Chains A and B, each alone.
Chain A
Amino acid sequence: MTPLIVLEAGACPLPLDNVDTDQLIPARFMKRPRSDGYGQFLLHDLRQDATNPACALDQDRFKDCQIMIAGRNFGCGSSREAAVYALADFGFRCVIASSFGDIFASNAVKNGILPALVSPEHIKILLAHQSVTRGEPIRIDLADQHIRIGNHSIGFSIDPVWKTQLLNGWDDIDMTVSYASDIARFNQSDARARPWARPDRSTAQ
């Protein structure tokens, strides 16, 4: 995974609450292998309705944006990691929102996308800011957890573990492998402590 330290890019406004992962990628597009690319399906159905704010994605000035600014409860619903694949393949590296679906946020980090949490008031400020509406770059500093836009500097929250992973581009699996002997030891003592916890395959096939 590519480390994320500083991001300077345009920010696409998506002034909607409860953007669920079914909106981020409708289920019918999920049969394909990832290697096909998922970017074209991002917010697919919302973008069919010309009045929907998601159509900003199709405007020239947001063509190369890497940051999305949304409302409350972004990425709620289905655990489909394809929602994150769609964002990543479209080119996004960061979503700013006032709350996130738990599973979505975790999936995002695993794909090098920063879920930056700010207050609802700051979302309003960001969405209204002319740098955003004009598609000019804004700056995100992960180390000191700040969004720099015009004269504003807005702090954001991120789980410290996720922050470290994003800064370093670390992968969980590499980290876990270093605990292999602890896992083996746990498995042995747990099998004695909770023998009932294993499936009984004596009658079932």
Chain B
Amino acid sequence: MIEQAGSLSSRPKTLIDKIWDAHVIVDREDGQSLLWVDRHLLHEGSFHAFDQLAKRQARLHRPDLTFGIADHYVPTRNRDALAPEIKRMVDQLADNCASHDVTLFGLDDPRQGIVHVAIPEQGLTLPGNIMVCGDSHTSTHGAFGAYAFGIGASEVAHVMMTQTIWQKRPKAMRVTVEGTLPNGTSAKDIALHLIAAIGADGAQGHAIEYAGSTISALTMEGRLTLCNLSIEAGARLGLIAPDDITFAFLRDRPFAPKGPAFEAAMHAWRSLRSDARAVFDREITIDASTLAPTLTWGTTPEQALPITANTPDPATISDAARARAVSDALDYMGLAPNQRLDSITIDRVFIGSCTNSRIEDLRAAASILSGQRAKVPGLVSPGSTAVKQQAEAEGLDRIFTDAGLEWVDAGCSMCVGMNGDLVPAGERCASTTNRNFKGRQGPGSRTHLMSPAMVAAAAITGHLTDVRRFVQGSNK
């Protein structure tokens, strides 16, 4: 790229810098900047912020840039007969959005789904946007080259009232992934590998830019999965420079620019990439060709290992606190030290969540499950009503139900269990979700995180399984 004469003296910028600089309203001496927010997304949990607004008798400032969506509490079956406390959560969101003129993708809207799945489908996530939502996995939207991050309820109220947010410029980390992903691995395996390598707080205070040939080759679905999991490495957000794959996804989406406006936007978006000599505070490289299907064995996403490994043995860990943490996690998970991961039997499976519930995820799971029977019960919840329709048009729902799994409506579902889809206490679930915290899928539940293909393989055998057994030589 040829540099413009005037910019020769200026410092090379990262993609993170470029988006940041375009949104600064004021820089304060103390290092905080007031940033413009392009998109603000609300869900049922936003009632705390609406309550704060009511307390101040304030109005929501920019309803045109705010969108509501019902996902966390929505039932995945029998939507006509809602339990009273669920109905209260869903109605509360609808009432709040209506009284503040906010567009809502509610329970009966064909555009409904998990916020981080359905909002990109609507073309509301654009390169170069700053986006916020009262949900930590807002980092997902970084897949489009958006600067997207989760905030708490007080900040949600602040954005509602001002369409701005105070932030300190994060440090920049680049994760470069090169090479071809081996059979049976996907974006999920890159992410779990990264989190295990740097720790669940490894990227704290940083924004991550993912780069390299492996990333460029990922589909939008894969990029969304990877950026989604950035928060599990402690990062504020993760993003990927937009390219032709991004633009092809966005063209003709309902809320995206159309016609000549789209061409003009695309022209602007092409400059959204880190300059060649941009300096990052931290650089990490991963050789994709060395990755194996990876899964978690413990109670934090950093407790992840390749399926070929054994559980760790606290007796061999010299640091007392770490040894304690490992034995505590093994205890909670009902596992022994040095146990082969692929010998661990499971009680159920879950395919869904904002990490892995897009059409490509369902195709990956279905390709393994096709013509097979699951040994354990399980739930498949597509990420959005649109994904559900697409999957049904492709016949994927039949593959799941023929295998004995339940095919239900779109929502957060068993990722967090707020709607009542729970893993019973003591049961072990192979799950495509993003958090294996104690009790995340229900009190006493045990969660193993892995890719959709790995969950499908586990469903067929009834134990954690190396999916490469099912894909050897398929070259897909």
Residues of chain A at the chain B interface (Cβ within 8 Å)? 15-18, 20, 22-23, 26-28, 30-31, 33-34, 45-46, 71-73, 76-82, 84, 99-103, 106-107, 110-111, 159-161, 164, 172-173, 175-177, 179, 182-183, 186-187, 190, 193-205
Count CB-based A-B contacts (< 8 Å).
187
Chain B residues with CB under 8 Å of chain A are 22, 25-26, 28, 30-32, 34, 36, 38-39, 45, 47-48, 51, 56, 64-65, 73, 85, 88-89, 103, 122-124, 126, 128-129, 134-136, 150-155, 157-158, 161-164, 166, 168, 199-201, 204-205, 234, 236, 254-258, 261-262, 264-265, 268, 299-300, 302, 321, 325, 416-418, 435, 437-440, 443
Q: Given contacts A160-B31, A173-B56, A205-B103, could you give 7 more A-B pairs where the C-beta distance is less than 8 Å? A: A18-B300, A79-B150, A80-B152, A102-B204, A159-B168, A197-B128, A199-B255
Determine the residue in chain B with the shortest Cβ distance to A84: B152
User: How far apart are the CA atoms of A81 and B156 in the complex, in Å?
Assistant: 10
Question: Shortest Cβ distance from A186 into chain B, in angstroms?
Answer: 4
Contact of B51 (CB < 8 Å), options: A33, A177, A205: A33
Inter-subunit contact B257/A77 (CB<8 Å): no
Establish whether residues B150 and A22, one from each chain, have CB atoms under 8 Å apart when the complex forms. no
Contacting pair B150 A45 (CB below 8 A): no
State how many angstroms separate the Cβ of A55 from the closest Cβ of chain B. 14
Q: Which residues of B contact A201 (CB under 8 A)?
A: 64, 255
B438 engages A23 (CB within 8 Å): yes
Q: How far is the CB of A24 from chain B (nearest CB, A)?
A: 11
CB <8 Å contact, B234 and A76:
yes
Which of A16, A103, A159, A196 makes the CB contact (< 8 A) with B126?
Answer: A196
Q: Which 6 A-B pairs have the closest CB atoms?
A: A196-B265, A107-B152, A204-B254, A110-B154, A81-B153, A81-B152
Are the C-beta atoms of A102 and B236 separated by less than 8 Å?
Answer: yes
CB contacts (< 8 Å) of B47 on chain A: these are: 33
Are A30's CB and B30's CB within 8 A? no
CA–CA, A110 to B52, complex, Å? 13
Does the CB pair A28–B417 fall under 8 Å?
A: yes
- Cβ-closest chain B residue relative to A199: B255
Q: What is the bound-complex CA distance between A149 and B199, given in angstroms?
A: 31
**Contact partners of B236 in chain A: CB under 8 A:** 102
Contact A17 B321 (CB under 8 A): yes
Instruction: Give chain A nearest CB distance to B279 CB in angstroms.
Output: 22
Partner of B128, one of A16, A107, A160, A194: A194
Q: Do the beta carbons of B435 and A110 come within 8 Å of each other? A: no
Q: Is the CB of B126 within 8 A of A73?
A: no
Q: Which of B38, B261, B439 is close to A200, meaning CB atoms less than 8 Å apart?
A: B261
Taking CB atoms, residues of chain A closer than 8 Å to B123 are: 200
Q: 10 A-B pairs, CB-CB below 8 angstroms?
A: A18-B201, A18-B302, A20-B437, A26-B443, A31-B89, A78-B136, A106-B151, A106-B155, A183-B25, A187-B163
Instruction: Please give the distance in Å from B164's CB to the nearest CB on chain A.
Output: 6
Bound together, the chains give a CA A194 to CA B65 distance in angstroms of: 14
The answer on a CB contact under 8 Å between A161 and B45 is no
Across the interface, do A161 and B154 meet the contact criterion of CB distance under 8 Å?
A: no
Q: Which residue of the partner chain A has the closest CB to B324?
A: A15
Asked if A177 meets B36 with Cβ closer than 8 Å, knowing A34-B51, A196-B257, A204-B255, the reply is no
Q: Which of B26, B200, B299 contacts A73 (CB 8 A)?
A: B200
- In whole Å, how far is B298's beta carbon from the nearest beta carbon of chain A? 10
User: Closest CB of chain B to A72's CB: distance in Å?
Assistant: 6
Enumerate chain B residues within 8 angstroms of A106, measured Cβ to Cβ. 151-152, 155
Q: Specify the chain B residue showing the minimal Cβ separation from A98.
A: B201
**Please, which residues of chain B bring their CB within 8 A of the CB of A23?**
437-439
Alpha-carbon distance A31/B419, docked complex (angstroms)? 11
- Give CA–CA (A36, B180) in the complex, Å: 53
Q: Check A164–B88 contact: CB distance below 8 A.
A: no
In the complex the two chains form, what is the Cα distance from A28 to B439 in whole Å?
A: 11
Q: Which residue of A lies closest to B300 (CB)?
A: A18
Asked whether B152 lies within 8 Å of A200 as measured between CB atoms, the reply is no
CB <8 Å contact, B64 and A198 = yes
B85 contacts A31, CB within 8 Å? yes
* Residue on A nearest B435 in the bound complex, by CB: A77
User: In whole angstroms, how far apart are the Cα atoms of A159 and B167 in the complex?
Assistant: 12
Complex Cα gap A103–B265 (Å): 32
B34 with A161: CB separation less than 8 A:
no
Nearest chain-A residue to B162 (Cβ)? Answer: A176
- In whole angstroms, what is the CA distance A179 to B26 when docked? 8
Q: Which residues of A contact B85 (CB under 8 A)?
A: 31
Do residues A176 and B136 form an inter-chain contact, with CB atoms below 8 A? no
Nearest chain B residue, comparing its CB with the CB of A48: B443
A46 vs B438: C-alpha distance when bound (angstroms): 9
| Interchain CB contact under 8 A, A176 and B34 | yes
Of the residues B200, B254, B264, B443, contact of A76 by C-beta under 8 Å = B200
Among the listed A45, A79, A160, A190, which residue makes an inter-chain contact with B443, where contact means beta carbons less than 8 Å apart? Answer: A45
Asked, given contacts A31-B89, A34-B51, A182-B25, whether A196 binds B261 with beta carbons under 8 Å apart, the answer is yes
Once the chains bind, are A45 and B48 in contact (CB under 8 Å)?
Answer: no
A195 CA to B104 CA, complexed, in Å: 23
Contacts of B302 in A (CB 8 A): 18
- With contacts A84-B152, A176-B162, A197-B129 known, is A99 near B204, CB below 8 A? yes
Q: Give the chain A neighbours of B122 by CB distance below 8 A.
A: 204
Residue pair A172, B321 in contact (C-beta under 8 Å): no
**Which B-chain residue is minimally distant from A203 (CB atoms)?**
B254
State in angstroms the CA–CA spacing of A81 and B48 once bound together: 9
Docked pose: A200 CA to B252 CA in angstroms? 11
Q: Using CB atoms, name the residue of chain A closest to B44.
A: A31
Q: Hey, which chain A residues are within 8 Å of B299, CB to CB? A: 18
A102 touches B163 (CB 8 A): no
Instruction: Return A201 CB to nearest CB of chain B, in Å.
Output: 7
In angstroms, how far is the closest chain B Cβ from the Cβ of A14? 13
